[in-house]
Amino acid sequence: MPIYEYRCEECGERFEKLVRRAESDEPVRCPRCGAVETRKQFSVFAAVGLEHGASSGACCGSGGCG
C-alpha cells in the first residue's frame, strides 16, 4: 500500500495517507478540517548520506569514486 502526500485546498494542511487500492478512487479528507478538497502532491525523497564522523571524506568508501 503506497503512502501519498496531500495538501488541503481549504486550510493548507499537508498530510500523508496510506491508501489501499480499493480506496484509491474515494475522496481523501483533511485530518485538520475535514474538507474533501485535497490534492495529491509530488513526494520529495530524502537522500541517504554518510553519518557525521563516519568517513574521512572519501565519496565511495575507502577506495574513492575514481
pLDDT for residue 36: 95
* Threshold 0.85, pTM exceeds: no
User: Which amino acid does the sequence have at 8?
Assistant: C
- Please tell me which residue, 63 or 41, carries the higher pLDDT value: 41
Given pLDDT bands bounded at 50, 70 and 90, which one contains residue 21?
confident
Average pLDDT over residues 20-44: 88
Is residue 30 a contact partner of residue 38, using CB atoms and an 8 Å limit?
A: yes
Kindly report the CA angle at 27 between 34 and 31, in degrees rounded to 5?
25
Fold of 1-44: Rubrerythrin, domain 2 (2.20.28)
Q: Which residue stretches of 1-66 are H helix?
A: none
The set of cell numbers assigned to 50 is 554518510
Q: What is the mean pLDDT of residues 2-24?
A: 90
